[in-house]
Structure 1
Amino acid sequence: MKLSRIRKGVRNVTEGGWVDRIPIDALEGVAFRVRGARNPDAIKLRADLIAALDEEQRTALPADTVEAIATEVMARAVLLDWNLTDEADALIPFTPEAALDLLTDPEIGETMREGVAYAAAVVAAQGRDALETDAKN
C-alpha cells in the first residue's frame, strides 16, 4: 500500500467531511461536516477536560460528567459545520458555542448528538474503508 493512501485515510478522520442522509427522522435534510471522534484535537481536548477535574471526580467519573465531556468534545473538536436553518429558513451560523447550545438543548440535544455521532462514525469508516480496500489491492 502506498503511504499516500494511508495519509488520505488519516486526513478523512482529522480534516473531516460532509455527511448527509442521516438515518434519524428528525434530521432528514440535515448535513453535518464532522471529523472522526478520535481525531487528535478530540483526544487532546478530552484528556484536558478530564485532567481539569479534581482527583475525586477523576477516580469515579459520574455518568453526567462523562456525558458533559463527550458533548463538549463533540461541539469543539468533532462537529465543524452544519446546514441548519431557523424557523424563518435563515441559516444558523456554526460556532462551537452554538453547537454546544444545540447539543445540550433539553428538547433536541439527544437527537443532535446521535446525528453528529453517526456522521463522525461515517467519516471514520470512510477513511478505514479506503485503507482496507487499498490493502486488498
Structure 2
Amino acid sequence: MTYALGMWIQHPLTLPAMRRGFHLITREVVAAVPELTQVQVGLLHVFIQHTSASLTLNENASPDVRRDFERYFNRAVPDAWPDFEHTLEGPDDMAAHIKASVLGPGLTLPVQAGRLALGRWQGIYLCEHRDHGGPRRLVLTLQGE
C-alpha cells in the first residue's frame, strides 16, 4: 500500500531472500520511490521491519568491504555462543539479533535536487545476519518539497 499526504510519501519495499552477508540495495531503494526525483530538499527514511537483519551506509565500490564487514561481525558475535539463552530459532538467531541491534533498523538520508545526497563512495547495505532470513520488508518514507 502507498500513502501520500502533503509532502509525505511512503512506500513498502520487499527484497527477495538473500544469503547471509552485506548487500548493496541503493538501486532498489531509489527505484521504489519514484517521487524522489520531484524533491528538491528533503529526507528519505529507510526502515527494516525485522529483528535479525539491519541497515547501514558504507562503501559502495569494493566488495572486499562487504566481506570484511561480514567477517568482523561473525567474529565479534559468533553463532551458537554457549552463553546465549535464546536458542529456539537456531544457532544464528541470537547472534543475528545482536548484530541487528548494533547496526540498527533505519537510515535517514538527505535528498537534494531529486537524488539521494550520498557521498561518492556511499551505498545502502541490507545486512542479512541469518543463514535463511527470507524476504525482508522495508518501509521507505520520503519527506520534502
Indicate whether the TM-score tops 0.5: no
TM-score (norm 1): 0.27
User: TM-score, normalised on structure 2?
Assistant: 0.26
Structure number with higher helix proportion: 1
Q: Which has the higher contact order (CA 8 A, sep 6+)?
A: 2
Q: Going by fraction, where is strand more abundant, 1 or 2?
A: 2
